[in-house]
Amino acid sequence: MFGTHFYHEHIKRAVAVFGTLFNNIKVIKKDSTGKALSTIKVPLAYGPRQKFLARITDEKYLNDPKLAIRLPRMSFELISILYDQSTKLQKGLTRTISSGANSRSSVLYPVGYRIGIQLNVMAKNQDDALQILEQILPFFQPDYTVTVKELDGAFKTDMPFVLESVSMADDYEGDFNTRRAIIYTLEFETRVRFYGPVFDRSIIRQTETNFASSSPIPDYTQILTVSPANAGPDDNYTIVVQHIEPYPDSAVAVLTNADGNFTVGETVYGSISGTTGVIQSINGNTVTIIRLDGSFSQGEQLIGETSETTATISSVEHTIDAIIDTIPYEPRPDLEYDLRT
Amino acid sequence: MGTNVYFSPKVRTEQNLYEDLIIEALRLYGQDVYYIPRETVTPDEILNEEYSKYASAYSVEMYIANTESFEGDGNLLSKFGLEIRDQATFVVARRRFQQLVTIDENSIREERPREGDLIYLPLSKSLFEIKFVEHEKPFYQLSNLPTYELQCELFEYSAEKFDTGVNAVDRFEHIYGPQSVIQITGGTYGFKPGDRIVQQLTGGVNITGKVANFVETRKALGPTLPRQANLYVTDIQVSNGSSRDFAVGGTVIDLTNVANTNWSITKVYGLNNDSNLYIPQEPLAQNEIFETKASDIIDFSESNPFGDPIVPPS
């Protein structure tokens, strides 16, 4: 049903961002006078990996000297993914990514998820582990926030990494053959927004709105038109506003075969169209009719309600007095919603 | 009552014969290994641990008790990468170990093998750490204890220094020790593992290091394109006791070969460079990969709207 392929690498990017927070930690071995004897750049890796890759990468040559493991080292992995109820917005909202002259790229508002990440620190000595820990903990109070680009830089989002818990394991007890493992585990939570597919839509350049009070017949129609017609969203342009009544404002009818005299102010109606109006003026066989609720037809009878005069409309001309206004428009980028938390 | 005085097992000559036979058997069926005593560099009297170094190695024959293969869990993949949990049990004659101790020129002065010392097995090029010394096997058969049984497992390396003079042992530091990679240009001679180098900085500060590897990346192609190489350096120390790396622009002095001059440092590989050269001893490390990838994702133009602590430059 969904079908459209898209992949924004949201989690993969979150992994890279998380990794870069801890990729420059060092452990320094000192002598008793405080002189640095050795500086270890602590290796960091995303823990899950294909087993064969680990073997052929780390043991490229089987004839190399063998050790159990090099320490200290750090690794991390994803441990949970939960829907983030607190970031829910109305359905169907879209955000514009980019606009061209005739179309704009949009995307549905993202769905927020909370991602749990576990960072593990393993060291041979407690002092090494504590050096690493102290280079991490002060920066999380309890969160550390970085601003990241989403959708190839279309949006910016603040991504908080919240330190949820710290635990440690030190298996120093037991028989002498059991390996002592010093492992610190730090659990973090961050928020990732999942965007849907990006789709292009044509730009709406004209709208037509009918306003009605009670009857199904609209009182008037409003037409908005962009001028110039090829203006883009980021250009300066004007919006032409037309208010159009549904019926003519007045009609000037030429009458023949009148069997009486119409009077000014008399209500008249057409025998076929049923249109009614009020005579505003009479000039010979020409009458001007206003307050129309429709249009008269050529050839129908015009009948006066009071004088009961009847005449044939030999020709009629309706007049529509449209109200035209223009609104200058300037782009307002500050009206964009800011999704940062 | 008491034990029978006519059948006493405590006959000295029999004990000596028994011990001679054991030594003979160990020399027939054992392996020549290196016994590497641990030396303390920095004791931590609060956390009860020590930073160690290994400055000597002694060849001695030992018998490998596990005949089929190494014991332990073998190779396994953990969240920290590849681990090799091989275990082995070595048997050494007490008298042979005592001989190591009593030779005057040897610096070893231990009365017994000690936990924490290392054994290098050339057969598999494995470095084992003694986890426990079992001294009561065999159990007083002639009222004596002729052997030590050394229960070992592969060594967990954590930047310990090796300076034993045995190349096979010192290689562990060359390959797995903390390293920096510097790009050098202009020299004539190369370097070999173990060479000592120094860079003299302004203010009388000297940075010394030990060459772990020398990889030529360009041969000399005339005066405008001199010879270029990557120099892998370990055991880096600064004369003022600080922790820092080599600096671009200086000259590398070869302390081992005074004729080897004219090498200048053109680059020190850092986090934004080739991942294989940032932590070269750690092929599974992704430090540089994360840095490169995230630099396209993180927006550094933003200020610090939530007052996060400022990360000082490294």
Residue A339 has what pLDDT? 38
For residue B302, list chain A residues with Cβ-Cβ distance below 8 A.
147, 156
Cα B151 off chain centre by: 20
Distance of alpha carbon B302 from alpha carbon B308, whole angstroms: 12
Give A243's pLDDT tier (boundaries 50, 70, 90): confident
Cα B52 off chain centre by: 10
ipTM computed for the complex: 0.90
Distance of alpha carbon A250 from alpha carbon A290, whole angstroms: 4
- For chain B, helix (H) and strand (E) counts, in that order, are 5, 17
Residue A73 touches partner B, C-beta closer than 8 Å: yes
Instruction: Verify whether the Cβ–Cβ distance A55 to B82 is below 8 Å.
Output: yes
Residue A160 has pLDDT above 50, yes or no: yes
Distance of alpha carbon B289 from alpha carbon B271, whole angstroms: 9
Asked if residue B232 lies in contact with residue B206, where contact means CB atoms within 8 angstroms, the answer is no
Residue A341 has what pLDDT? 32
For residue B209, list chain A residues with Cβ-Cβ distance below 8 A.
none
Residue A120 has what pLDDT? 97
Least confident of A90-104, A126-140, A173-187, A252-266: A90-104
pLDDT tens figures, B146-183 = 899 999 999 999 999 999 999 999 999 999 999 999 99
For residue B155, list chain A residues with Cβ-Cβ distance below 8 A.
67-68
Residue A338 has what pLDDT? 38
Asked if residue B147 lies in contact with residue B91, where contact means CB atoms within 8 angstroms, the answer is yes
User: Within 10 A of B181 (CB to CB), how many other CB atoms are there?
Assistant: 24
How close B291 gets to chain A, by Cα (Å)?
Answer: 5
Backbone angles phi, psi at B296, to 5 degrees: -85, -15
Residue A333 has what pLDDT? 47
Mean of pLDDT values over B34-39? 93
Q: How many CA atoms are closer than 13 Å to the CA of B126, on its beta-carbon side? A: 22
Bin B204: left if φ > 0, else alpha if -120 < ψ < 50, else beta.
Answer: left
Residue A336 has what pLDDT? 43
Residue B314 has pLDDT above 60, yes or no: no
pLDDT tens figures, A13-24 = 999 999 999 999
Contacts of B179 (CB under 8 A, 6+ apart): B212, B232, B233, B234, B279, B280, B281
For residue B49, list chain A residues with Cβ-Cβ distance below 8 A.
125-127
Asked if residue B157 lies in contact with residue B38, where contact means CB atoms within 8 angstroms, the answer is no
Distance of alpha carbon B225 from alpha carbon B228, whole angstroms: 8
Distance of alpha carbon A36 from alpha carbon A39, whole angstroms: 7
Residue A314 has pLDDT above 70, yes or no: yes
Instruction: Verify whether the Cβ–Cβ distance B49 to A13 is below 8 Å.
Output: no
The pair of structure tokens assigned to B232 is 């892998």
Give A334's pLDDT tier (boundaries 50, 70, 90): very low
Residue A132 has pLDDT above 80, yes or no: yes
Residue, of A82 and A341, whose pLDDT is higher:
A82
**Average pLDDT score over chain A:** 87
Contacts of B252 (CB under 8 A, 6+ apart): B182, B184, B187, B197, B198, B199, B231, B263, B264, B265
Length of chain A: 341
Residue A216 has pLDDT above 70, yes or no: no
Residue A91 has what pLDDT? 86
Residue B310 has pLDDT above 70, yes or no: no
Give A289's pLDDT tier (boundaries 50, 70, 90): very high
Distance of alpha carbon B86 from alpha carbon B65, whole angstroms: 14
**Average pLDDT score over chain B:** 88
Residue A2 has what pLDDT? 74
Residue B196 has what pLDDT? 92
Residue with tokens 């920095």: B42
Contacts of A228 (CB under 8 A, 6+ apart): A237
Least confident of A25-29, A54-58, A187-191: A54-58
Please tell me which residue of chain A has the smallest CA distance to B289. Answer: A16
Least confident of A265-269, A312-316, B94-98: B94-98
pLDDT tens figures, B53-95 = 999 999 999 999 987 888 888 889 999 999 999 999 999 999 8
Mean of pLDDT values over B295-309? 72
Give B128's pLDDT tier (boundaries 50, 70, 90): very high
Residue A69 has what pLDDT? 93
The pair of structure tokens assigned to B43 is 């004791």
Mean of pLDDT values over A29-35? 90
Distance of alpha carbon B175 from alpha carbon B194, whole angstroms: 11
Residue B189 has pLDDT above 70, yes or no: yes
Residue A224 has what pLDDT? 87
User: Nearest CB to B83: which of A69, A77, A128?
Assistant: A69
Residue A19 has what pLDDT? 95
Asked if residue A240 lies in contact with residue A324, where contact means CB atoms within 8 angstroms, the answer is yes
Residue, of A40 and B110, whose pLDDT is higher:
A40
Residue A313 has what pLDDT? 94
Number of A–B residue contacts, CB under 8 Å: 229
CA distances from B127 to A69, A215, B86, B170, B279 (A): 11, 95, 10, 11, 22
Residue A337 has pLDDT above 60, yes or no: no
